[in-house]
Structure 1
Amino acid sequence: MFVLLRYLKGLKSSPPRLKYYQTCFTFVIAFLLVYNLTWFDTAFKEVFVYSRTGRWCPRCSPKAFIDRELINLTDQYIINKPHLCENSKPLAFIMVISSVRSKKRRDQIRATWMKDAMAVGMKVVFSLGSSVFHGDSTEILMENEIYQDIVQLSFVDDWRNLTLKTIASLSWYKNYCSHAKYYIKVDDDAVINVDNLVSNLATFSNSHAIIGHLLKSNAPCFVWWRQQHCMPPEQHFKLDYLDRYPPYPAGPMYVMTQAAVILLVNHAKLTSRKDLYFLEDVYITLLAREIGIDVIDNPQFLFCSQLSERNFQEKVANAIVIYDCSSKQFNTIWSLIQRN
């Protein structure tokens, strides 16, 4: 504060030309601080929260590739549901990727499309990581006691752990619910039209496939400090595709056949020697390409940003899923699905 006051006092008494450059410099610094506010918030959490817990968090030492040894964490559970699929043969198993502090999102799903999914014999479970905040554990235990639909993993809920979380969810399906014909991974900001999903799966015949909305022109980002999906320059050499990623299904939701999941889990855990890439949808696609699993585009998987006033009703009526939605958008879309 003292340095800032001295600087402002000096600015006031500077010659006009120097004052102009000092003012410009001040605005540039202020802009950079605001632009990188998320980055500073992240850095604060790394130093004062994650580092004090002693729990592993890859964002504490930023890496694009996670050490393979950490894959052993994917079969460790705080809360498990090993008997969920016993004595049943569901059409699909849906794993909703959620976080400890997203209870409102989970309640929204429980009150809407989850009821429809369970009514047609699907199994639905929420996949959570652990929390660095002590009080959250009790709340999750109470929520699980009420709904019995939570699987909680042993590593921290963090966006850089999504690859571990995805492999853990695939492994859970392989171990406890592999008699379901399809595995569906979906984020908790997605609205599923269950009728359209069932109709689509009934006509699907490829037994070794991943289905989703393919992103075909995305490229790796190499400027680490600009955004969370970038990587440090020293790790570029580990990417097989430096100019463009191969087409990959958008992470908010994709569907896998039973055989594809089993092959992927075995390859990820036992065969592949590569470190785990932190963009989970890209990483899963790279594994799929290595073992010959087809990746299929489906235009009925939509982002909320693809909707507009002109096409809203038509696209919602035909969609299997619409994801990356705010709570308000979620409710609006679900109301229209119900009316249709």
Structure 2
Amino acid sequence: MRLWLKLRIWRSAFGRYIYLGLLGFIIMFGMRRTGGDRNQRRPWRSITPVGEDSGLFMKMASVNAIIVERENRRQRPFVHHKVEDSDHTGLLRDAASMPRLIRGREDLKRDKTPFDDAYNKGTYLLEPTDSHTYTQLNTPRNICFDHRGMPRRVPMIIFVTSALGNLKRRDHVRVTYGNSQAWEVSDEPLVRTVFMLGATADPVLQAKISAEARIYGDIVQEDFIDSYLNLTRKTVMGLKWVTEHCRHAKFAMKIDDDTMLNKARILAFILRAPSHGVVIGNLNLDMPVVRSRVGDWGKYHISEDFYPASTYPPYLSGTAFIMSTDLVEATFRTALSTPLFPWEDVFMGMCWKKIGVSLMHDYHFMCTSNTEECYGDKEWPKYTVFVNLPAEYMVRVWVESTVYAEKQLPDIRK
């Protein structure tokens, strides 16, 4: 019986491997076709417009870096491998491609919010803190370190939160932005990707996940139950893994498995953004707490006894956000002593508020529409991530943004 089960699991895994290869071939073919048809060319430095706000971005990052350094010193010491900075083909870091910020200088002075008045109230404060000492069921190999145990240079590590059953979504990620070879500049990948999974009591499903982990070597799995209400634990697991296994990376990006990246915007960011004090995404300010159980938002209901404030602290949409790894470490340490909250993006906002950093908002960080507003030829280059995409759109966005980015590579080598 056990032999039959193993054969069935490996046959299924081998079938996915073949499917992945075919999908990769289709994507490469599509890139060649698209590359032959497109003649548009814009200077690399203008891919991400910043206007007059680039100075504000740099100022916020500098202030945040000081706060985060102090917080990391205050927390228990953490030893990690140090990797010397690489200029990646001689490119100098500057603010030319920083995203526009919605927050003005007056917002930086606004320290008090409705959240402060109720911060020390509510039964949510009685929720347990989580020391996050779960057992690792699977862990990636050779992602941020080579086979000799030497650290790789990793400008950005992406950790993808994924549900156990989302095998096809992970496959689409693996042949698009999850393929490290797609990010090579001078034969060196700038981005690497891992998946975050919880556990299951189903032995057949768990065996499939373990087989998938052995084949691809990109799955982080711990033994808490994989569920919607455990997304907070899963996000903290990502922070923990980056802190303990890839702290020498410059940036970490958290992203959901149904979201696609614009390669050109990501490259512009990781090559030119300051490498400390960065926390950026789609910022939510003064978001009201859902009190009603009725309607589409009813699943986000929170009682007044549990959380008495009428609004949440500032937080970034949990679909995707980017942090420099100094802030990843500080956020992870802070999360261990913060009472758990059911919504992971709000929980992260609580942690960032405790640290005292300012969150950064990019006007064009995220597009949530399934219309030509996102995918028109003149529109998609503006956005960094695309949310809730069907598979065919994921492939289209990746192919077009890859071709677009490749046409700019000669510019970034100058």
TM-score (norm: length of structure 1): 0.72
Residue 307 of structure 1 contacts residue 315 of structure 1 at CA under 8 Å; is this kept in 2?
no
> Which of 210, 220, 245 is 2:289 aligned to?
220
> Which of 163, 166, 189 is 1:99 aligned to?
163
In 2, Cα distance between equivalents of 1:290 and 1:279: 17
Task: Name the CA shift for 1:309/1:266 in 2 (closer, same or farther; >3 Å).
Answer: closer
| CA RMSD between the two structures | 2.5
What is the CA-CA distance between 1:129 and the residue it aligns to? 0.7
In 2, Cα distance between equivalents of 1:104 and 1:231: 33
Q: Which amino acid aligns with 2:143?
A: L
Partner of 1:157: 226
Tell me whether 330-339 or 288-297 shows the greater mean CA deviation.
Answer: 330-339
The answer to which structure has the higher helix fraction is 1
Task: Name the CA shift for 1:65/1:83 in 2 (closer, same or farther; >3 Å).
Answer: farther
What is the CA-CA distance between 1:224 and the residue it aligns to? 4.0
Partner of 1:142: 211
In 2, Cα distance between equivalents of 1:265 and 1:171: 6
Residue 301 of structure 1 pairs with residue 368 of structure 2: no
Partner of 2:342: 278
Q: Secondary structure at the match of 2:299?
A: coil
Residue 81 of structure 1 pairs with residue 140 of structure 2: yes
Task: Kindly report which structure 2 residues correspond to 1:1-340, keeping only aligned pairs within 5 A, or say none.
Answer: 67-69=127-129, 71-73=130-132, 75-81=134-140, 84-86=143-145, 87=150, 88-115=152-179, 116-117=182-183, 120-205=189-274, 207-224=276-293, 227-237=298-308, 242-269=309-336, 272=337, 274-305=338-369, 307-309=371-373, 312-340=376-404
What is the CA-CA distance between 1:133 and the residue it aligns to? 2.7
Task: Name the CA shift for 1:337/1:96 in 2 (closer, same or farther; >3 Å).
Answer: same
Partner of 2:70: none
What is the CA-CA distance between 1:206 and the residue it aligns to? 6.4
Task: Name the CA shift for 1:184/1:66 in 2 (closer, same or farther; >3 Å).
Answer: farther
Partner of 1:18: none
Task: Name the CA shift for 1:66/1:103 in 2 (closer, same or farther; >3 Å).
Answer: farther
In 1, Cα distance between equivalents of 2:375 and 2:175: 26
Residue 282 of structure 2 contacts residue 366 of structure 2 at CA under 8 Å; is this kept in 1?
yes
Q: Which amino acid aligns with 1:221?
A: V
Residue 75 of structure 1 contacts residue 168 of structure 1 at CA under 8 Å; is this kept in 2?
no
Q: Secondary structure at the match of 2:210?
A: helix
In 2, Cα distance between equivalents of 1:251 and 1:310: 19
In 2, Cα distance between equivalents of 1:316 and 1:81: 32
Identity among equivalent pairs (%): 24
Residue 189 of structure 1 contacts residue 324 of structure 1 at CA under 8 Å; is this kept in 2?
yes
What is the CA-CA distance between 1:66 and the residue it aligns to? 8.4
Task: Name the CA shift for 1:208/1:309 in 2 (closer, same or farther; >3 Å).
Answer: closer
Q: Secondary structure at the match of 1:208?
A: coil
The answer to which structure has the higher strand fraction is 1
Q: Secondary structure at the match of 1:305?
A: coil
Give the gaps of 5 or more residues in structure 2.
1-122, 405-414
Residue-pair matches, total:
270
Tell me whether 131-140 or 323-332 shows the greater mean CA deviation.
Answer: 323-332
Residue 264 of structure 2 contacts residue 401 of structure 2 at CA under 8 Å; is this kept in 1?
no
Tell me whether 77-86 or 176-185 shows the greater mean CA deviation.
Answer: 77-86
Q: Secondary structure at the match of 1:153?
A: strand
Residue 259 of structure 2 contacts residue 387 of structure 2 at CA under 8 Å; is this kept in 1?
yes
Partner of 1:33: none
Task: Name the CA shift for 1:206/1:92 in 2 (closer, same or farther; >3 Å).
Answer: closer
What is the CA-CA distance between 1:131 and the residue it aligns to? 1.9
In 2, Cα distance between equivalents of 1:315 and 1:133: 44
Give the gaps of 5 or more residues in structure 1.
1-62
TM-score (norm: length of structure 2): 0.60
Q: Secondary structure at the match of 1:254?
A: strand
Deviations 1:123-163 (A, max 9, x none): 21011111243311111111112111111121111111111
What is the CA-CA distance between 1:73 and the residue it aligns to? 3.8
Partner of 2:9: none
Partner of 1:27: none
Task: Name the CA shift for 1:279/1:66 in 2 (closer, same or farther; >3 Å).
Answer: farther
Greater RCO structure (CA 8 Å; 6+ sep): 2
Deviations 1:297-327 (A, max 9, x none): 0123213317535872223122222122222
Q: Which amino acid aligns with 2:200?
A: S
Q: Secondary structure at the match of 1:90?
A: coil
What is the CA-CA distance between 1:334 and the residue it aligns to? 2.8
